[in-house]
């Protein structure tokens, strides 16, 4: 197995680790940035490629890019991107602070291409992470294994690989080609014939289900669409300006310091700001589509509320869903060519992180205020987690809102951890070797 060594390995080339790469270049020491590597499993940098439809919009301001809330003068800002690609006038004239998702995606690609010290490797899927120990058993770093059989060792590890898609267990009996989770929507639908006919189910009542329902009308125009949800109906996101203040990066300190019951209250009351809701504009557009469908007597689009999928089997190349009406308890069966799941993400940390915690003998995955994984042992190595700390850092943790300041927090923590490691080395020479890899 071919092994390489870097000082810092960042897994995932999404907004979180791109923000980190920029912070390393702008705030870190030159040698740290030059010995840092970001690995991304896709062949290209894209933002949420599963639902990257041309009409889909970001739900946060373009000012929440990878740098502006940390340093509005950074050359990596979204505005500088627009200026560089010659679209600044048009964007200003558009008069919207929430760009199309494809524009954010283009911006992130430009950020990745503009890095001058931190290296980025595409098409590299990390399949395992193991702690690395010296002969005395001291934890001295990490070894990340990749799908091509190679590995990368590092003293610092930053995991920013997003969250694992949630597929409810009831769908486990369906073969992979009958089910599409929203994270794979675009690539999977691109492989289907537009002539496909029959019924397609969309499951879920939040934004990703709504976006798939909208997209399917174009992508599979000959299919009848049935939108299944357990809730009483669709609801819009809670987006008022008062509650939006709780997405300020400064709120992370307040949330982190709050008592457990206060954290629970805040997360519960903020739930609809990010989950179980749909953007108001999309709701209006979907309602209009459904109205026109009935008006023209086509009746090819249905929303079925309070419907629970209680079983799913496959017969004759179709998915057969057993539906229980939550109002009456009545059970019925319906056949579908395809089932599209807008069922969100697993709440627990991703499998990659949970397995690492097990290898470290940790009972739980918890991070410090500076996002450093809390270990049960002293170590000259450290691991940081991005985007999976909602329980301790608040609901904005998985969003763009806190990216830029969080990248600075992590960079500064690594710098001070390195200084400490070098001091420790001088005072207890031989305990470990704080090599600086170039």
Ligand X SMILES: Cc1cc2nc3c(=O)[nH]c(=O)nc-3n(C[C@H](O)[C@H](O)[C@H](O)COP(=O)(O)OP(=O)(O)OC[C@H]3O[C@@H](n4cnc5c(N)ncnc54)[C@H](O)[C@@H]3O)c2cc1C
Footprint of ligand X on this chain (CB under 6 A)? 11-17, 39-42, 47-48, 51, 58-60, 125-126, 160-162, 208, 352, 386-387, 398-401
Render the burial of 231-252: b for 16+ CB within 10 Å, e for the rest.
eeebeebeeeeeeeebbebebb
Residue with the two structure tokens 């930053």? 158
Please provide residue 231's backbone torsions phi and psi, each rounded to the nearest 5 degrees. -75, 175
Nearer to ligand X, 59 or 74 (CB): 59
**Shortest approach of ligand X to residue 231 CB, angstroms?**
19
Nearer to ligand X, 125 or 138 (CB): 125
**CA quadruple 375, 26, 13, 410: dihedral, nearest 10:** 20
- 192: helix, coil or strand? coil
**Shortest approach of ligand X to residue 250 CB, angstroms?**
17
**Shortest approach of ligand X to residue 271 CB, angstroms?**
15
- 234: helix, coil or strand? coil
- 49: DSSP letter: G
Instruction: Pick the closest to residue 28 from 432, 407, 420 (CA basis).
Output: 407
Give the span between the Cα atoms of 391 and 250, in whole angstroms.
16
Write down the number of H helices and E strands in the chain. 14, 15
Nearer to ligand X, 235 or 300 (CB): 235
**Shortest approach of ligand X to residue 396 CB, angstroms?**
8
Nearer to ligand X, 379 or 389 (CB): 389
Cβ partners under 8 Å of residue 229, min gap 6: 203, 204, 205, 209, 303, 304, 305, 306, 307
Nearer to ligand X, 14 or 394 (CB): 14
Q: Which residue is nearest to ligand X (CB)?
A: 14
Nearer to ligand X, 210 or 321 (CB): 210
**Shortest approach of ligand X to residue 22 CB, angstroms?**
13
Q: Residue 102 corresponds to which tokens in the numbers above? A: 């494809």
With beta carbons less than 8 A apart as the criterion, state whether 437 and 6 touch.
Answer: yes
Q: For residue 10, what are the β-bridge partners?
A: 38, 158
Nearer to ligand X, 59 or 217 (CB): 59
**Shortest approach of ligand X to residue 380 CB, angstroms?**
25
**Shortest approach of ligand X to residue 314 CB, angstroms?**
27
């Amino acid at each position: 197995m071919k092994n390489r060594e870097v000082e810092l390995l960042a897994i995932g080339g999404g907004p979180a680790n791109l923000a980190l790469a920029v912070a390393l270049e702008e705030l870190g020491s030159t040698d740290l940035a030059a010995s840092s590597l970001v690995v991304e499993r896709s062949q290209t940098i894209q933002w949420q490629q599963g639902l990257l439809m041309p009409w889909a919009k970001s739900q946060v301001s373009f000012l929440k890019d990878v740098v502006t809330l940390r340093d509005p003068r950074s050359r990596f800002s979204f505005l500088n991107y627009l200026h560089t690609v010659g679209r600044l006038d048009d964007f200003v004239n558009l008069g919207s602070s929430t760009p199309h998702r494809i524009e954010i995606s283009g911006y992130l690609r430009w950020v990745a291409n503009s890095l001058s010290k931190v290296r980025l490797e595409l098409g590299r899927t990390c399949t395992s992470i193991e702690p690395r120990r010296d002969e005395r058993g001291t934890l001295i770093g990490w070894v990340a294994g990749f799908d091509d059989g190679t590995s990368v060792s590092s003293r610092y590890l930053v995991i920013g690989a997003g969250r694992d898609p949630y597929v409810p267990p009831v769908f486990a009996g369906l073969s992979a080609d009958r089910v599409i989770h929203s994270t794979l929507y675009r690539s999977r639908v691109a492989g289907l014939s537009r002539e496909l006919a029959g019924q397609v189910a969309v499951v879920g009542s939040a934004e990703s289900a709504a976006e798939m329902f909208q997209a399917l009308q174009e992508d599979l125009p000959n299919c009848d669409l049935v939108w299944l949800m357990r809730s009483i109906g669709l609801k819009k996101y809670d987006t008022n300006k008062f509650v939006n203040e709780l997405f300020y990066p400064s709120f992370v300190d307040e949330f982190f310091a709050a008592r457990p019951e206060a954290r629970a209250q805040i997360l519960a009351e903020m739930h609809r700001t990010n989950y179980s809701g749909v953007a108001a504009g999309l709701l209006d557009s979907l309602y209009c589509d459904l109205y026109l469908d009935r008006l023209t007597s086509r009746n090819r689009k249905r929303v079925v509320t309070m419907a629970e999928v209680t079983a799913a089997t496959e017969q004759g190349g179709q998915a057969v869903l057993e539906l229980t009406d939550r109002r009456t308890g009545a059970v019925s069966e319906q056949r579908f060519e395809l089932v599209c799941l807008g069922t969100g993400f697993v709440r627990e940390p991703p499998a990659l992180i949970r397995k690492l915690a097990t290898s470290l003998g940790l009972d739980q995955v918890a991070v410090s205020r500076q996002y450093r994984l809390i270990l049960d042992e002293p170590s000259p190595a450290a691991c940081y987690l991005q985007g999976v700390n909602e329980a301790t850092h608040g609901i904005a943790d998985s969003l763009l809102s806190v990216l830029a300041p969080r990248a600075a927090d992590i960079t500064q923590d690594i710098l001070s951890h390195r200084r400490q490691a070098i001091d420790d080395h001088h005072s207890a020479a031989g305990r470990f070797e704080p090599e600086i890899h170039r």
